[in-house]
């Protein structure tokens, strides 16, 4: 699964640590999501969707 989390984060000029604080996860978790090494749980994916005010299917998708 691919995602645009890094693009959304950089648009807001947030560091990975800042995004991690907003999501209440570690910076390493944010890094793993952004690089595609980790697919977030459904609740975390919905939290990301709500935080960036985008439909979940616009953030996470399969090529």
Domain range holding 37?
2-56
> For the segment 30-56, what is each residue's pLDDT rounded down to a tens digit?
999 999 999 999 999 999 999 999 999
Position 23 in a domain: yes
Please say if the pLDDT value at position 20 is more than 90: yes
Position 61 in a domain: no
Please say if the pLDDT value at position 15 is more than 90: yes
Position 62 in a domain: no
> Mean pLDDT for the chain?
97
Q: Which CATH number is 39's domain given?
A: 1.10.260.40
Whole-number Å distance between alpha carbons of 27 and 62: 24
Whole-number Å distance between alpha carbons of 58 and 28: 23
Position 41 in a domain: yes
Position 48 in a domain: yes
The pTM for the full model equals 0.94
Position 63 in a domain: no
pLDDT at position 4: 98
Please say if the pLDDT value at position 63 is more than 90: no
Position 20 in a domain: yes
Domain count of the fold of the chain: 1
């Amino acid at each position: 699964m691919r995602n645009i989390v890094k693009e959304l984060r950089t648009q807001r000029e947030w560091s990975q640590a800042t995004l991690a604080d907003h999501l209440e996860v570690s910076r390493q978790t944010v890094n793993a999501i952004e690089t595609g090494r980790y697919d977030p749980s459904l609740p975390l994916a919905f939290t990301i969707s709500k935080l960036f005010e985008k439909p979940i299917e616009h953030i996470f998708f399969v090529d």
